[in-house]
Structures are given as C-alpha cells and as structure tokens.
C-alpha cells in the first residue's frame, strides 16, 4: 500500500465502513449472497487494511472516535491559547529581574526550544494533536520574542514584524500540518502587504484598515496560489487559502461599496460606490459559478452569502426610508424565496442522473 496522507487514509477507512454497512443491508434483504470463503477473505483484507491505516495515520474507525477527534482538536486549541497566555504572563511578572543579556537569550531560545519540542512530539504522536498544540505555543513564543526584543532595544514598530510572524507561521504550518497556523500566517501576510501598500501611498502603516483597496491584490494572489502550487499533501490548506482570501476580498469590497471616502479612485462617492456595488454582485456571482464548476462547497456558500449581503444592503439603501417596514421585510422574504427557487434548479442540475429501471414489457 502506497503511503497515504491522514485525510486519504481516513477517506479509505470511511469507504470500508460504508461498504460493510451496505453489504449487511443487502444481505439482510437477500440481494447479496457471498460464499463463506469469499466473505471471510474480504473481511480479513479489510481488517488488515484498517489495522495498517490506524497504526500509520491514527484514523478514526467509528463515529464516536471521529466525534472525540473533533473534541480533541478544540481542546488542543484551547490548551495552546492557555499555555501561550501562561508564557506571556510568566515573562511579564518576572521579566524585570533578568539582565538584558539573559532576556535576549531567553527570547531567542524560547521559540527554538518550542520548535524542537514540536518536532519531537510530532514523531511520537501519530494523532498530531499534541504536535499542533506545541506548534501553536511555538508560534506564540515567536511573536512574543519579536515584540519583547523590539521593546528591549527600543526598535520603532513597523509592518516588517508581521512579515516575520507570517514566515514563521508558514514554516510551522507546513512542518506540522496545522491549518490554524496557516490561517494566522495568512492574516499576518494580509496585514503586512496592506500596511506596506499604505506606507508606499504616504500613510502611516498602523492605519492599514483605512484603505481596503490595499487588500485586493494579496487576496487574489493567495486565492490563486493553490492553483499553481499543489497543496494536496496538506489537508485543508487549499480551503484556508481560498476562504480567507475570499473573506478579505469581499469585506474590502463591501466597505468600499458603502463608504467610498477611503477609495483611491478619482470619482465622486456615488459613482465609486456604484462601481464597487456592481463589482460585488459580479464577483460574488462568479464565485458561486466557480464553486459549482469545481464542486467546492465552501466557495459556493461564500459567494451566496456575499451576494445576499450586497443585495440586502442595496435594498436597505433604496427602500428602508420610504417603504413601510412590513412591506420592506415582505420584499426581503420574496427575494429569499426567489433565491431558493434558483438554487433548487441549480441543485437539480448538479444531481447525478440514475439509470431508469426498464418497465415490464418495455423495450430495453
């Protein structure tokens, strides 16, 4: 058996469980009768395969185990946050007792030691939960390291620190395969790129959120990155890249569609807002079509949500002040029904056509 990633191993285990459930059902209905030696051979093959998958990738072999795995992920996230907070307050309480040289050594050693611990735990822990926890603590100590070193040497704050945060986050995310660290690295990247654009345009970098147009280019870059750099070995990374990029892009577009004063476009506020409103409708509809084409549910859902947001904000602008409130919400309800009808037609178009059962006496 070729080496599988954890998600591929889990899919294979789920296929075996589904096959066994369907085989039991068909046997009970008398539609599938296997010879005893054939059934035993299939049973033995699946048992051996599940044992190999469980030993190699620690897959979940039951629904109860899967639910517990989700709980373990939540607990590991909370534990990482608690340990990071503990590390921060430990430094905060006793920091003044150390000499400057000792402080620098501690700050440099903390992320390196935590990175080594995370790598060591990853080799011992097949589930990956403890390694993820150690990785998130390592990232928190790295961020604390940069902030405290800047404070010790009185370094002027700059957006470059977010580039350093992002770089370490990407390293940890790919080393330990932690989606949360990838999301943190992407957020730091968005802040860094947006702040850099702001400084190039003459504003102070800390006001990075005042010009949403700075986030359009990084959103497009990170959205398309999984298309030309294969992420199949890293479960969920493509979804993180694309969903965070989509959310960032459309939030910036939504802000500009309603408050055009922060735009660089040399037009009046009404024209600029109208332009971004049309852009919002077009891009969200294109995202829905792209999600349908690629069978990416998250992107299709995001496109639906933002299309509805753009639509309802326009309804509010047009009718809230002069329509009776009952009539306003009645129009909203009718729009929702229309959307359901459209989505239902799209859903039926996506259904897999089953072969028709020949009628008795018909021509086959």
CA gyration radius for the chain? 27
pLDDT tens-digit series, residues 310-355? 888 888 777 777 778 778 778 778 887 887 787 777 666 666 544 5
156 and 198, same domain (yes or no): yes
Tell how far CA 29 is from the center of its chain.
43
Task: Tell me what pLDDT residue 362 has.
Answer: 38
In terms of residue numbers, what domain contains 143? Answer: 75-207
For residues 265-287, average pLDDT: 91
Name the pTM for this structure: 0.78
Closest CA to 282 of 302, 315, 310, 261: 310
171 and 123, same domain (yes or no): yes
Task: Tell me what pLDDT residue 207 has.
Answer: 82
Examine residue 361 and state whether it is found in any structural domain, yes or no: no
Examine residue 70 and state whether it is found in any structural domain, yes or no: no
Task: Tell me what pLDDT residue 364 has.
Answer: 32
215 and 138, same domain (yes or no): no
Examine residue 11 and state whether it is found in any structural domain, yes or no: yes
**Average pLDDT over the chain, rounded to whole?**
82
Task: Tell me what pLDDT residue 128 has.
Answer: 67
Please give the structure tokens belonging to residue 236: 């969920």
168 and 126, same domain (yes or no): yes
pLDDT > 70 in the chain, percent: 90
Task: Look at residue 361 and tell me whether its pLDDT is greater than 70.
Answer: no
As for how many domains the chain has, the answer is: 3
The answer to which of 88-97, 234-243, 307-316, 354-363 has the lowest mean pLDDT is 354-363
If one compares 279 and 86, the residue with the highest pLDDT of the two is: 279
320 and 246, same domain (yes or no): yes
137 and 230, same domain (yes or no): no
For residues 8-32, average pLDDT: 84
Cα–Cα dist 25/13, whole Å: 19
The answer to which of 43-52, 126-135, 191-200, 282-291 has the lowest mean pLDDT is 126-135
For residues 119-146, average pLDDT: 79
The CB-based long-range contact list for 297-306 (8 Å cut-off, 24+ gap) reads 298/239, 298/242, 298/243, 299/242, 299/243, 299/246, 302/243, 302/246, 302/247, 302/250, 303/246, 304/339, 304/343, 306/246, 306/250, 306/254, 306/280
If one compares 64 and 268, the residue with the highest pLDDT of the two is: 268
Task: Look at residue 359 and tell me whether its pLDDT is greater than 50.
Answer: no
Range among 118-127, 168-177, 197-206 with highest mean pLDDT value? 168-177
How far from 345 is each of 60, 317, 336, 340, 349, CA to CA, in Å?
36, 30, 14, 9, 6
Task: Tell me what pLDDT residue 354 has.
Answer: 47
Task: Tell me what pLDDT residue 323 has.
Answer: 76
Binning the chain into helix, strand and coil, the percentages to the nearest 5 are 80, 0, 20
């Amino acid at each position: 058996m070729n080496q599988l990633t954890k998600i591929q191993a889990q899919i294979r285990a789920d296929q075996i469980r589904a096959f066994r459930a369907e085989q039991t059902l068909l046997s009970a209905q008398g539609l599938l009768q296997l010879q005893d030696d054939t059934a035993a051979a299939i049973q033995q093959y699946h048992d051996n395969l599940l044992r190999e998958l469980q030993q190699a990738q620690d897959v979940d072999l039951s629904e109860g185990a899967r639910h517990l795995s989700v709980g373990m992920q939540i607990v590991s996230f909370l534990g990482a946050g608690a340990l990071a907070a503990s590390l921060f307050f430990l430094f905060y309480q006793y920091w003044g007792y150390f000499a400057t040289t000792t402080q620098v050594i501690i700050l440099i050693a903390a992320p390196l030691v935590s990175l080594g611990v995370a790598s060591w735990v990853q080799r011992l822990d097949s589930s990956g939960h403890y390694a993820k926890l150690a990785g998130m603590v390592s990232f928190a100590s790295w961020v604390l390291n940069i902030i405290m070193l800047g404070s010790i040497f009185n370094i002027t704050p700059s957006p470059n620190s977010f580039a350093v945060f992002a770089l370490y986050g990407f390293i940890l995310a790919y080393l330990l395969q932690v989606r949360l660290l990838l999301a943190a690295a992407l957020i730091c990247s968005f802040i860094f790129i947006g702040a850099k654009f702001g400084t190039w345009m003459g504003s102070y970098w800390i006001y990075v959120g005042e010009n949403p147009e700075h986030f359009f280019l990084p959103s497009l870059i990170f959205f398309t990155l999984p298309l030309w750099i294969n992420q199949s070995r890293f479960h969920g990374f493509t979804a993180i890249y694309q969903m965070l990029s989509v959310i960032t892009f459309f939030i910036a577009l939504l802000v500009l569609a309603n408050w055009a004063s922060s735009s660089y476009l040399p037009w009046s506020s009404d024209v600029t807002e109208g332009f971004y409103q049309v852009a919002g409708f077009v891009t969200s509809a294109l995202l829905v079509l792209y999600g349908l084409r690629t069978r990416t549910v998250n992107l299709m859902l995001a496109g639906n949500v933002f299309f509805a947001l753009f639509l309802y904000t326009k309804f509010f602008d047009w009718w809230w002040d002069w329509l009776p409130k009952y009539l306003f919400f009645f129009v909203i309800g009718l729009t929702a029904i229309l959307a359901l009808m459209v989505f239902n037609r799209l859903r039926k178009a996506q259904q897999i056509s089953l072969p028709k059962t020949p009628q008795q006496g018909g021509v086959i």
